[in-house]
Structure 1
Amino acid sequence: MSEWANIKLGDVADITSSKRIFYSDYVASGIPFFRSKEIIELEFGFKIEEPLYISHDKFESIRNKYGAPQDGDLLISAVGERSGIPFVVNNLGPFYFKDGNLIWIRNISSRLNANFLYRWIKSYIGQRSLESIMIGSAQKALTIEGLKSLQIPLPPIPQQQAIADVLSSLDAKIDLLHRQNATLEEMAETLFRQWFIEDARDGWNKGNLIDEFTITMGQSPAGSSYNEHGQGMPMFQGNADFGFRFPTNRVYTTAPMRLAQRFDTLISVRAPVGEQNMAWETCCIGRGVAAIRYKENPSLYTYTFFKIRSLMQSLKAFNNEGTVFGSITKTDLEALSVALPPTDLINQFEQQCKPINDKIIHNTQQIQKLEHLRDTLLPKLMSGEIRVAY
């Protein structure tokens, strides 16, 4: 790494913010206006929930006088718990952003590859460096002056490009699998809705959730049994552990109490109620989680998963129960009213949709492996411990 110079970020880019936009400048439609909330949603591939806009005239007035973000610029969230999240502007079209919420890195020198800078900021090394220049104790914040003084490594441009390309290719594959999963899950949900909701028969029996499914409510082991070193069995306490389809192994216990089995449907039963996942392996479930499996044949996990998915709105209504936190009891859960379709129809659905569901499961495993590879490579590439041929 001897030929990698360290340089102040302010020496290779302009670091600034936006001109102030007031509440009275918001309009019903026009040019998108982003706060850190929206930039973070874009960075993580989420749909913007509450879009804001300013008028075309207001935007043009600002852009002509002060400029506006363009492709290759970076924006970094600057205030609060989620400060330090970078976003590369790419094919967004015209937009503007909130001063104070976001810091703008633009006019990046030809000595610095914007994608390399983005990757470095996202790395463990970059995040630690950002933490070292944050101000405030109750609420952390990045400042323009702090970012100007930030020391960054500056490999030769071909090496920067090679590092960025390796990490971008991994992210592209991960993104492809995520998008494929979203499409597959929509297909399976559509089929379930057609078979069991839209085409439901009046002659089907009515019953309760307990008539179809075995329900196991979680129980938390003694805190002294917890560890983060993989000793014992993975334990999930609730929504904080849930991912796209499977929870993340974060905490383990050497004294498990209540268990979920492989491919059981998991739901959060406390604050908030109604988030859903699936068990990848036998695991311990704490008091914030319930495990659900089909009584007659536990291998019908696809039907189980999408049947519970169809009940999410009913489950989430329990978030309004209680004095402080929403929760649902075993009695309430077992008593949920459901239609009881014929067994042969359930088997037909499982036969048709299980390959779709299993593809989602396979893709999710691949995503986890690729994310682990990326997260392992990232600090090694950014520190020069691993070199990329170029």
Structure 2
Amino acid sequence: MKSVELGEIFDITSSKRVFQSEWKDKGIPFFRAREIVKISKYGFVDNELFISEEMYEDYKSKYGVPKEDDILITGVGTLGITYKVKKGDKFYFKDGNIIWFKKKSDVDSKFVQYCFQSQEVLRQVQSGANGATVGTFTIEKAKKTKIPLPPLATQKKIAAILDAADAHRQKTKQLLAKYDELAQSIFLDMFGDPVTNPKGWKKRTLDKLLTRKTQNGHYAPKDVYSEEGVQMVHMSDAFYQILEPGEFKRVLVSDGLRKKYEINDSDILVARRSLNYEGAAKPCMVPKYSEPLIYESSLIRLTPDQKVLTPIYLFYFLNNDRARGAYVLKHVTKSTISGINNKGLNAVEIVLPPIELQKQFLNIVKVIEMEKVIAKQSLEKAEELFQGLLQKAFKGELVE
């Protein structure tokens, strides 16, 4: 199968500059890289930035706007995430953050999208000339990125097969999301709206509900990272609400430091910092592990007193949008990097239901988590199937 540089089949560019002073709170959606990531993952995005209708029409007439079957690709943050523009889409996007692929030859955009999920193309996106990982995907680099390109009819056949495999994969992901929604729904049914507190439960500040003081994690210089040390949880490991089993980075620490920063399933980790205000102070659950586990300095450890507060209730309370808006975010600093410190976290008020009711909720969540384990196993199989088909496709082995 022949390979071509993307610059041969697309006009590759970006948008015209929109200054921050020109952003609006309503109008035409204005996407940054993070919105492309979200719309690629979920199929929609709750947009928070806009430009005026007048600016959009002016730019449309002078420079053009994304149209059906164009491809947008993230050039910063999570590199190489794609979105294929749909019929009826109406938005503009941030220059420098996103690369715009305009078709100039007979090529199937969906096929090209799938190319960006292959390891061969991702390596080109994420690596520099010397093989080192880079932090940006530029227009010039995009033009030189190579993809396999069979005849158009074959491209369409491959895309159709991968669409079917991807649909199976996406359904499993949606099932996992539904389980998470179910747990939050049960939380509200059992405990009521945490803001209106219809059951009249008392509130106590978090510092009164812990068995030990809140504690920032361990700062480890580069020279103590090792293949044989203690596993240490980093901020990137704690993004997904629960630590996933796997290999964390390891550091060499003394027994004293290990004991000081050790975590277990009685603890909750909270993110100290975030690039956006709403992301700060997000909680993460810690499952049982068979070996010692410590955490790094971008995280804060909470150890609830389980006589009055279960870790699972605390997690769902801190993760509830209404509770966060009323009790948590007012203690988060607003700046380029938003954050919460120990003083602010200790001052967060917690609505405190009876411990027996919290334990009932824990038992329900355990059942939901068991179902999620089964769904995750199905997702792993769906991922294996998709990746296997993807590899065959780009070796020319999927269709004749």
Q: TM-score, normalised by structure 2?
A: 0.69
Identity percentage of aligned residues: 23
Q: Distance in 2 between matches of 1:356 and 1:279?
A: 16
- C-alpha displacement at 1:297, in angstroms? 9.5
Q: Cα deviation per residue 1:194-224 (whole Å; 9 max; x = unaligned)?
A: 177623336x5x6565765545857549767
Contact 2:36 2:83 in 1 (8 A): yes
Q: Which residue of 2 aligns with 1:286?
A: 295
Report the residue type matching 2:263 in the other structure.
Answer: A
Q: Distance in 2 between matches of 1:183 and 1:163?
A: 31
Q: Cα deviation per residue 1:166-221 (whole Å; 9 max; x = unaligned)?
A: 6523542354135414522431342354177623336x5x6565765545857549
- C-alpha displacement at 1:328, in angstroms? 0.9
**Mapping 1:339-378, distance limit 5 Å:** 340-351=352-363, 354-356=366-368, 359=371, 363=375, 365-366=376-377, 369=380, 373=384, 377=388
- The alignment status of 1:327 with 2:344, answered yes or no, reads no
Q: Which residue of 1 aligns with 2:147?
A: 152
Report the residue type matching 1:345 in the other structure.
Answer: L
Which of the residues 374, 377, 398 maps onto 1:388? 398
Query: Helix, strand or coil for the counterpart of 2:192?
Result: helix
Q: Which residue of 1 aligns with 2:200?
A: 201
Q: Which residue of 2 aligns with 1:8?
A: 5
Which of the residues 253, 277, 283 maps onto 2:284? 277
Which of the residues 115, 118, 133 maps onto 1:120? 115
Which of the residues 29, 41, 46 maps onto 1:32? 29
Of the structure 1 ranges 191-200 and 180-189, higher mean CA displacement relative to structure 2 is found in 191-200
Q: Which residue of 1 aligns with 2:277?
A: none
Report the residue type matching 1:259 in the other structure.
Answer: E
Q: Distance in 1 between matches of 2:369 and 2:31?
A: 36
- Structure 1 378/97 Cα, relative in aligned 2: closer, same or farther at 3 Å? farther
Q: Distance in 1 between matches of 2:92 and 2:345?
A: 47
- C-alpha displacement at 1:6, in angstroms? 1.0
Contact 1:43 1:87 in 2 (8 A): yes
Of the structure 1 ranges 288-297 and 118-127, higher mean CA displacement relative to structure 2 is found in 288-297
Query: Helix, strand or coil for the counterpart of 1:104?
Result: strand
Q: Cα deviation per residue 1:280-310 (whole Å; 9 max; x = unaligned)?
A: 3225132534153552499x55434324546
- C-alpha displacement at 1:100, in angstroms? 4.8
Q: Distance in 2 between matches of 1:266 and 1:10?
A: 48
Contact 1:18 1:98 in 2 (8 A): yes
Aligned residues: 369
Which of the residues 88, 98, 110 maps onto 1:102? 98
Contact 1:6 1:154 in 2 (8 A): yes
Structure 2: runs of 5 or more not aligned: 275-279
- C-alpha displacement at 1:50, in angstroms? 2.6
Q: Distance in 2 between matches of 1:362 and 1:218?
A: 34
- Structure 1 48/190 Cα, relative in aligned 2: closer, same or farther at 3 Å? same
Q: Cα deviation per residue 1:218-276 (whole Å; 9 max; x = unaligned)?
A: 75497677446xx6764214x332132213543245764343334x4522264466221
Contact 2:82 2:113 in 1 (8 A): yes
Structure 1: runs of 5 or more not aligned: none
Q: Distance in 1 between matches of 2:339 and 2:16?
A: 41
Q: Distance in 2 between matches of 1:301 and 1:69?
A: 47
Q: TM-score, normalised by structure 1?
A: 0.71
Q: Which residue of 2 aligns with 1:130?
A: 125
Contact 1:218 1:289 in 2 (8 A): yes
* Structural RMSD (CA): 4.6
- Structure 1 22/178 Cα, relative in aligned 2: closer, same or farther at 3 Å? same
Contact 1:120 1:382 in 2 (8 A): no
- Structure 1 81/266 Cα, relative in aligned 2: closer, same or farther at 3 Å? same
- Structure 1 367/279 Cα, relative in aligned 2: closer, same or farther at 3 Å? farther
Q: Which residue of 2 aligns with 1:245?
A: 241
Which of the residues 260, 264, 269 maps onto 2:263? 260
Contact 2:16 2:95 in 1 (8 A): yes
Q: Which residue of 1 aligns with 2:316?
A: 306
Contact 1:33 1:54 in 2 (8 A): no
Q: Which residue of 1 aligns with 2:51?
A: 53
- Structure 1 389/189 Cα, relative in aligned 2: closer, same or farther at 3 Å? farther
Q: Distance in 1 between matches of 2:155 and 2:372?
A: 39
